Amino acid sequence: MTLYADISEHGRAARPALVDGFGRAVSYLRLSVTDRCDLRCVYCMAEHMTFLPKAQVLTLEELDRIASAFVGLGTRKLRITGGEPLVRKGVMDLIGGLSRHLASGDLDELTLTTNGTRLAEFAPQLAGVGVRRINVSLDTLRPDLFRTLTRGGDLAKVLAGIDAAQAAGLRVKINAVALKNDNAAELPELIAWAHGRGLDMTLIETMPLGEVEADRTDQYLSLAAVRRELESFWTLTDLPLSTGGPARYVQVEDTGGRLGFITPLSHNFCESCNRVRLTCTGALHSCLGQEDASDLRAVLRAGGAESDLIDAIRLAVDAKPKGHDFQIARAQPAVARHMSTTGG
Ligand code: SAM
Ligand code: SF4
């Protein structure tokens, strides 16, 4: 061990970590950098969305300041999301700037979730600033269904983006939302395709966030049912791996790849939750499924000092709710804001 390592280890240990009122350490921040998107996925957005006026959205400097305050409080993982993060002007300046925390050893991982449409352009730059893994959302390999589900998207662009990401050396995980009437029958093919390219794959249940045109009880497909179906022709072996998040992983022996299940509705994952989310307006949500939020933008724009920001973050984390309260059968969404606002 060098003296430097001793000092940094000591520094880290001495840093008061963010721990909530239920004793859960919060070490993971999801940062939404925009509510805008170049797609309109049917389960995520309404067809005609009203986006936020620019003045309400945090500047790149404000986003950096808040994210860096979290890093100073012991956050080890940052995920950039949205809306679509790669449509935010200057997003590479933000990501490049935040990568200084990777270089200093204060951050373990800087990553992002993207729809992939602009990855062909951004993948080399992302790899260049130290991003190692990304999540790409892709629900189907059928160009027509892709166009319908995203209301006009071009599948070829996403596939080219995934190619570019792999060529740049990024590890890619594919996230697909399981939709009863749309991609249910295609899921085995999608999983086999991902595993055939050496990509991990995660399936997500639809969550009742925000008003959309479609009826969620129609779209909802239980992943317990998907798993039973997959097990009728594949061997799935449970993996002990836990990310502190909602995913449970299996090894698909037949394809040689890893498959995750995110089941907020049929399996409650709150007891091990280590994450909080910041919207692009500076609202800090300590739980995806509850309305509670702290307004960090107000702290910054009132000219708050670093200590005010840290106090506001600590207060919000301390009040992190015990768990969410999603029920697909309810007519109303559990929370009014869309996933694109909170950041998926
Ligand atoms: N635009 C980027 C993308 O699509 O990857 C990042 C933001 S998007 C809101 C993040 C993830 O949330 C995507 O994987 C998307 O499929 C998922 N998502 C959006 N609305 C959802 C909902 N109502 N239920 C479950 N997942 C949802
Ligand atoms: Fe855009 Fe992502 Fe929402 Fe689709 S899921 S509309 S790509 S923010």
342 pLDDT more than 60: no
* Centroid of ligand 1 to alpha carbon of 175 (angstroms): 9
Determine the pLDDT at residue 337. 61
Global pTM value: 0.89
Determine the pLDDT at residue 6. 32
238 pLDDT more than 80: yes
331 pLDDT more than 60: no
* Centroid of ligand 2 to alpha carbon of 85 (angstroms): 10
Instruction: Name the more confident of 232 and 217.
Output: 232
252 pLDDT more than 90: yes
Tell me which residue has its CA closest to atom 3 in ligand 2.
44
Phi and psi of 33, rounded to 5°?
-100, -5
Whole-angstrom CA distances from 222 to 119, 184, 307, 335 are 31, 10, 45, 20
Q: Which of 34-38, 62-66, 268-272, 335-339 has the lowest mean pLDDT?
A: 335-339
310 pLDDT more than 70: yes
Determine the pLDDT at residue 208. 67
- DSSP strand pairing (200-204 vs 257-262): parallel
d(CA 116, CA 315): 36
* Centroid of ligand 2 to alpha carbon of 9 (angstroms): 39
Q: Which residues line ligand 1 (CB under 6 A)?
A: 37, 43-44, 81-82, 84, 113-115, 137, 175, 177, 204, 206-207, 209, 339-340, 344
Residue 41 near ligand 2, beta carbon < 6 Å: yes
327 pLDDT more than 90: no
Confidence at 340, pLDDT banded by 50, 70, 90: low
Please state, rounded to an integer, the average pLDDT across all residues of the chain. Answer: 87
- DSSP strand pairing (200-204 vs 109-114): unpaired
d(CA 189, CA 187): 5
* Centroid of ligand 1 to alpha carbon of 308 (angstroms): 32
Diameter of the chain by CA atoms? Answer: 60
272 pLDDT more than 80: no
d(CA 301, CA 303): 5
Q: Which of 115-119, 154-158, 248-252 has the lowest mean pLDDT?
A: 248-252
Determine the pLDDT at residue 206. 85
d(CA 270, CA 246): 8
* Centroid of ligand 2 to alpha carbon of 283 (angstroms): 19
Position 252, amino acid: V
Domain ranges of the chain: 25-342
Determine the pLDDT at residue 158. 98
Mutate which of 30, 39, 207, 279 for ligand 2? The one with the most ligand atoms within 8 Å of its CB, which is: 39
* Centroid of ligand 1 to alpha carbon of 70 (angstroms): 24
- Mean pLDDT (whole number) for 90-94: 98
Tell me which residue has its CA closest to atom 4 in ligand 2.
41
Residue 39 near ligand 2, beta carbon < 6 Å: yes
Determine the pLDDT at residue 275. 83
- Render the burial of 44-68: b for 16+ CB within 10 Å, e for the rest: bbeeebeebeeeebbebebbbebbb
Confidence at 318, pLDDT banded by 50, 70, 90: confident
Interval 189-221: pLDDT, tens: 999 999 999 999 999 988 766 666 666 667 888
**pLDDT over 70 percentage in the chain:** 81
For the structural domain made of 25-342, what CATH number should be given? 3.20.20.70
Residue 115 near ligand 2, beta carbon < 6 Å: yes
Confidence at 319, pLDDT banded by 50, 70, 90: confident
Interval 100-146: pLDDT, tens: 999 999 999 999 999 999 999 999 999 999 999 999 999 999 999 99
* Centroid of ligand 1 to alpha carbon of 344 (angstroms): 5
Instruction: Name the more confident of 333 and 214.
Output: 214
1 pLDDT more than 60: no
**Contact, 226 vs 190, CB < 8 A?**
no
Instruction: Name the more confident of 7 and 11.
Output: 11
Determine the pLDDT at residue 133. 97
**pLDDT over 90 percentage in the chain:** 67
